[in-house]
Amino acid sequence: MMVLDPRLWCLLAFWAGAWLLNSELSKGRSDWVRYAVPLVFGVTMLVLWQVGVTAYSVNKIILPPPSDVLARMMSSKPTLWADLVQTFFKGALSGYAIGCTAAVLVAIAIDRSPFLQAGLLPVGNFVAALPIVGIAPILVMWFGFDWHSKAAVVVVMVFFPVLVNTIAGLAASEVMQRDLMATYSASYWQTLFKLRLPAAMPFIFNGLKIATTLALIGAIVAEFFGSPTRGMGFRITAEIGRLGLDMIWAEIAVAALAGSAFYGAVALIERGVTFWHPSQRH
Amino acid sequence: MKRAIPILTVLGVILAVWYVAAVWMNAPWAYDQAARADQAAPRLMQLPGLTLNQDRPVLPSPHQVIAELVRSTFGLPPSSKKSLVYHAWVTISGTLLGFAVGTTLGVLLAVGIVYNRAMEMSVLPWAIASQMVPIIALAPMLAVVMNAVGATPLMTKAVISAYLSFFPVVVGMVKGLRSPEVMQLDLLQTYAAPGGSVFWKLRLPSSMPYFFASVKVAIAASLVGAIVAELNQQAGLGARLLQGSYYGQTTQIWAALFLSAILAAVLVMLAGRIEARVLTRMGMAR
- Inter-chain CB proximity A38 and B121 less than 8 Å: yes
**Contacts of B27-33 spanning 24+ positions with Cβ under 8 A:** B27/B51, B29/B54, B29/B57, B29/B58, B30/B54
Alpha-carbon distance of A92 to B94, in angstroms, equals: 29
- Inter-chain CB proximity A130 and B260 less than 8 Å: yes
Give the nearest partner residue to A220 out of B136, B149, B260, using CB atoms: B136
Q: Mean pLDDT highest for which of A18-27, B42-51, B135-144?
A: A18-27
What angle do helix axes A245-273 and A232-242 make, rounded to 10 degrees? Answer: 160
Residues 30-69 of A with CB under 8 A from B: 33-34, 37-38, 40-42, 59, 61-63
Whether B257 and chain A come into contact, CB under 8 Å, resolves to: yes
| B109, pLDDT greater than 60 | yes
Alpha-carbon distance of A266 to A210, in angstroms, equals: 10
Residue A61 per-residue DSSP state? T
Task: Tell me the nearest-neighbour CA distance from A252 into chain B, angstroms.
Answer: 7
Alpha-carbon distance of B161 to B100, in angstroms, equals: 9
What per-residue confidence (pLDDT) applies to A239?
Answer: 85
pTM for the model stands at 0.82
User: Average pLDDT, stretch A190-215?
Assistant: 89
Confidence of residue B56 (pLDDT cuts 50, 70, 90): confident
Mutant choice from A26, A142, A268 vs B, greatest count of B C-beta within 10 A: A26
What per-residue confidence (pLDDT) applies to A2?
Answer: 55
User: Which residues of chain A lie closer than 8 angstroms to B228, CB-CB?
Assistant: 133, 221, 224
Alpha-carbon distance of A235 to B242, in angstroms, equals: 18
Report which of B275, B278, B264, B259 is spatially closest to residue B215, judged by C-alpha positions. Answer: B275
ipTM: 0.77
Whether A27 and chain B come into contact, CB under 8 Å, resolves to: yes
CA distances from A72 to A84, A173, A197, A202, A220 (A): 15, 52, 46, 40, 20
What per-residue confidence (pLDDT) applies to B40?
Answer: 73
pLDDT tens, residue by residue, B232-271 = 777 888 888 888 877 878 888 888 888 888 888 889 889 9
- Inter-chain CB proximity B227 and A134 less than 8 Å: yes
pLDDT tens, residue by residue, B26-38 = 888 778 878 887 7
**B106 touches B166 (CB < 8 A):** yes
Backbone phi, psi, residue A3, to 5°: -95, 130
Confidence of residue A1 (pLDDT cuts 50, 70, 90): very low
**Contacts of A272-276 spanning 24+ positions with Cβ under 8 A:** A273/A201, A273/A205, A274/A201, A274/A202, A274/A205
Alpha-carbon distance of B78 to A281, in angstroms, equals: 58
- Inter-chain CB proximity B134 and A120 less than 8 Å: no
Closest-CA residue of B relative to A251 is B137
Alpha-carbon distance of A24 to B235, in angstroms, equals: 50
Whether B47 and chain A come into contact, CB under 8 Å, resolves to: no
Task: Tell me what the pLDDT averaged over chain A comes to.
Answer: 85
- Inter-chain CB proximity B228 and A133 less than 8 Å: yes
Residues 84-123 of B with CB under 8 A from A: 116-118, 120-123
Give the nearest partner residue to B137 out of A123, A134, A232, using CB atoms: A232
**A41 touches A21 (CB < 8 A):** no
Which residues does B241 contact at the CB level (< 8 Å), separation at least 6?
A: A134, A137, B227, B231, B253, B256, B257
- Please say whether the dihedral angle defined by the alpha carbons of residues B29, A145, A156 and A159, taken in this order, is positive or negative: negative
User: Which residues of chain B lie closer than 8 angstroms to A210, CB-CB?
Assistant: none
pLDDT tens, residue by residue, B163-180 = 888 888 998 898 889 888
Confidence of residue A144 (pLDDT cuts 50, 70, 90): confident
Task: Tell me what the pLDDT averaged over chain B comes to.
Answer: 84
- Inter-chain CB proximity B265 and A126 less than 8 Å: yes
